[in-house]
Structure 1
Amino acid sequence: MDRYRALMAFDVARARAAYPALDEGFVHFDGAAGTLVAEPVARAVAGVLCGAVANRTTAFAPGRRALQILADARSAVADLVGGEPGGVVFGPSATALTYTVARGLARTWRPGDNVVVSRLDHDANVRPWVQLAEQNGVQVRWAEFERTTGALPIQQYREIVDDRTRLVAVTAASNAIGTRPDVAAVAGIAHAAGAVVYVDGVHATPHLPTDVAALGADFYVTSAYKWSGPHLAACVAAPARWEALAMDKLRPSPDDPPERFELGTPSWELLAGVTAAVDFLAGLAPDAIGSRRERLLASLAATHEYSAGLFRRLLAGLQAIPGVTVLPAPPDGCPTVSFRVGDQHPADTAAALGEKGICVFSGDYYAYEYFQAMGLRDTGGGVRASIYHYTTAEEIDRLLEAVAGIA
């Protein structure tokens, strides 16, 4: 990130101007559940819906447009995360794609094998592996997070990963508390044992420059609606990794990846929105130069620096309010915090903030194992506030004032 330090100036007003929904006046701390859509994305989606785009074929121009839309979207996601276009598989959600990969990998699992999952993860990177393990007589091993710090210790992986470990699933960032585990270290341990590494990048991708190779991710999943795009997800792996994965499919559908794993006709308009979202992100640091990949790295470094400063302000403010309990997390995570106000049910806190036009979520946000381990799920989980690059310092103060009033 130091390489892009000179490009760190970030103009939040310029960024906010690209989000028409902000004109409604709500304060959005709900980005962890889904960000607002940037105007160029909506325009790209509408352009396909209003234009002559047919199902894919080389026989006529509207069909060739569909092929180009798909190719452009694969290249865009590859630039966003540092992958290869031929290894980008699209699907309706990260959950659906993870189930697809899990079913393919599980065909080679045998009794006596084991898989490793973490209690810090979103359930989409837990339950598919647990369910397929149970169906195949495979042991499930759990990586535990530290209750007092929210960290995911690496040493435990050296103890629970062995030569019968077939898969290690880990998040790049907790969607509940923002913790960023040392994924590269986990992957190094897993690869030394011959295991496949599946990384949930849904919460990390919107906030950080991503390099799947540096992370050591064999599979990396991300959702476009978490980074200003439409409701579409992508799983990225080396083409050879997809080639080796078994998949049930219709007989006439393509045999080669990535198309082999994309069941049915793609949504051309959403694919166009994905490309537009990546292009939009690449332009958030207007002084950045070079390829789209280079501009993405610079822009996401700039937004990360900006959001981190706001997040420090939010954390300090919450911790200073009597009666507010902030769930612990390491200081270098993504800008997301979960908290509780006294003995008030989190849903009531969220509703009270909603009455003031402040959008936050409550519950377990599908971080099921985390809130179970913390002993909080049965009493409502937590209240989650997540910062995105359109958040302002004034909005931070507005949230803090509202929480203080509730407390």
Structure 2
Amino acid sequence: MTYDIAALRSQFPALGAGTAHFDGPGGTQTPQAVIDAIADALAHPLSNRGSVTLGERNAETLVVEARRAMADLLGADPRGIVFGRSATQLTYDFSRTLADTWSPGDEVVVTRLDHDANIRPWVQAAARAGATVRWAEFDPKTGELTPDDIRAVLSDRTRLVAVTAASNLIGTRPAIAEISRLVHEAGALLYVDGVHYTAHTLVDVERLGADFFVCSPYKFHGPHHGVLAAAPELLETLHPDKLLPSTNVVPERFELGTLPYEFLAGTRAAVDFLAGLDPTATGTRRERLVASFEALEAHEHTLRTQLDKGLAALPGITIHSRATDRTPTLLLTFEQHSTADAYAFLAERNIQAPAGSFYAIEVSRHLGLGDTGGLRIGLAPYNDTEDVDRLLTGLAEFLTK
């Protein structure tokens, strides 16, 4: 298909402000369809879920439809879709629940490549259970985290491995399917942080082999909350703390309190928006998502090629995103300039490319960047060649100021 970037951009009211957004890894802009879905949910009667009143039925419908939409996006079972306040909150909740099954001497594996939200909950849960934390390292020169890096820290005492499907700081996409095979051969569970990955690659939880897969709709044009996917049969074996009168049914037993119904309406709309990135696609929503993500990846590859070529022509830049398989997310540092100054310089020109370590503190330190990180450039579906040209021009001016 021809990726109609002009038509796509017209669906984002925020782009009317004229900003070139390269901050997608921190959260994407919102299309009108998602805004309308949230407003529509709030404009109609809403109540606690049920089947008697109109408000109850509306709430029930919003939850059911959102589970189906996220199941289509993730290649999962709707009965295994759990909603939470954020991916971080869900990971903390599941780390506490899973830690109840650990004993002193058990081992948990985390990686230096991960966002802290997929490290600290497991480190803290392991400490409470008396379990040992083992660290999988990545190569700071290439940015690669390989299955062999995971294999090196597995043992017959490993109970869980937590790993990212894509680094939110440098974009690296580890070979999750192969890592899954190794983890399961060791008799352990695999918890995958898919927050950055889901925005760029169509997920197939079964193919990846993730026992748990967590993501955040606001990274792919939806509202701010978290989603976890797991097999319903696995969820049935877990017993989280919950209120006495709350249901014990899966997946609801993991959802504490009343769900944000209007956000679930927005999440369903965000998935439908993604399924329409290829307007010529037909078939089921999952089939349309397959075609749309193929178009999206081709579009982002074109822009990343333009960006890579332009950055290579600029002096004094180090690019820390070097993995063979990575998202269109780049981390830069400068020989003679502060990345914080670059962030501010670009912001004055209405170009949003933030600086920092973005909670990927272990990655930043392992790269030798301390807690400072770098300037992060992240592409999203609405970026176009003019955005990239503006960014490259801005960086050239900054480097010669």
TM-score of the alignment, normalized to the shorter chain, above 0.5: yes
Q: 1:267-346 alignment to 2 at 5 Å? A: 267-346=260-339
Shift of 1:306: 0.7
The match for 1:213 is 206
Cα distance in 2 between the residues matched to 1:401 and 1:333: 24
| Preserved CA contact (<8 Å) 1:319 1:325 | no
Tell me whether 1:240 sits opposite 2:233 in the alignment. yes
Give the aligned residue type for 1:307.
Answer: E
Superposed CA deviations along residues 148-201 of structure 1, whole A, max 9, x for unmatched, are: 100102212222111110001111100001110000111100000110000000
Cα distance in 1 between the residues matched to 2:149 and 2:143: 15
| Preserved CA contact (<8 Å) 1:224 1:231 | yes
Tell me whether 1:394 sits opposite 2:386 in the alignment. yes
| Preserved CA contact (<8 Å) 2:321 2:329 | no
Distance verdict in 2 for CA 1:245–1:281, change over 3 Å:
same
Shift of 1:62: 1.5
Tell me whether 1:350 sits opposite 2:340 in the alignment. no
SS in 1 for 2:197: coil
| Preserved CA contact (<8 Å) 2:212 2:230 | yes
Give the aligned residue type for 1:22.
Answer: L
The match for 1:195 is 188
Tell me whether 1:77 sits opposite 2:75 in the alignment. no
| Preserved CA contact (<8 Å) 2:346 2:394 | yes
Cα distance in 1 between the residues matched to 2:62 and 2:353: 35
Cα distance in 1 between the residues matched to 2:272 and 2:146: 36
Q: 1:7-406 alignment to 2 at 5 Å? A: 8-378=1-371, 380-406=372-398
SS in 1 for 2:163: strand
Shift of 1:319: 2.3
SS in 1 for 2:25: coil
SS in 1 for 2:57: helix
Cα distance in 2 between the residues matched to 1:200 and 1:91: 14
Cα distance in 1 between the residues matched to 2:351 and 2:334: 16
| Preserved CA contact (<8 Å) 2:213 2:229 | yes
Cα distance in 1 between the residues matched to 2:83 and 2:322: 32
Cα distance in 2 between the residues matched to 1:124 and 1:328: 21
Cα distance in 2 between the residues matched to 1:387 and 1:140: 34
Cα distance in 2 between the residues matched to 1:315 and 1:169: 31
The match for 1:4 is none
Percent identical residues: 49
Shift of 1:61: 1.5
| Preserved CA contact (<8 Å) 1:371 1:381 | yes
Cα distance in 1 between the residues matched to 2:94 and 2:7: 39
Cα distance in 2 between the residues matched to 1:384 and 1:159: 30
Cα distance in 1 between the residues matched to 2:40 and 2:236: 34
| Preserved CA contact (<8 Å) 1:319 1:326 | no
Give the aligned residue type for 1:406.
Answer: F
Shift of 1:220: 0.3
Cα distance in 2 between the residues matched to 1:67 and 1:49: 14
| Preserved CA contact (<8 Å) 1:148 1:328 | no
Cα distance in 1 between the residues matched to 2:326 and 2:368: 22
Cα distance in 2 between the residues matched to 1:28 and 1:46: 25
| Preserved CA contact (<8 Å) 2:172 2:321 | no
Superposed CA deviations along residues 341-370 of structure 1, whole A, max 9, x for unmatched, are: 223222111111100100011110111100
Give the aligned residue type for 1:382.
Answer: G
TM-score normalised by length of structure 2 = 0.98
Give the aligned residue type for 1:211.
Answer: D
Give the aligned residue type for 2:306.
Answer: R
Cα distance in 1 between the residues matched to 2:271 and 2:140: 36
Superposed CA deviations along residues 43-73 of structure 1, whole A, max 9, x for unmatched, are: 0000111211222121112111100100000
| Preserved CA contact (<8 Å) 2:138 2:149 | no
**Where does the alignment leave 5 or more consecutive residues of structure 2 unmatched?**
none
Cα distance in 2 between the residues matched to 1:28 and 1:328: 19
Give the aligned residue type for 2:68.
Answer: S
| Preserved CA contact (<8 Å) 2:159 2:188 | yes
Superposed CA deviations along residues 224-246 of structure 1, whole A, max 9, x for unmatched, are: 00001010110000011111112
Q: Number of aligned residue pairs: give it.
A: 399
The match for 1:5 is none
Superposed CA deviations along residues 284-335 of structure 1, whole A, max 9, x for unmatched, are: 1011111001101110111011101111111221122101111142133100
| Preserved CA contact (<8 Å) 2:19 2:350 | yes
Give the aligned residue type for 2:396.
Answer: A
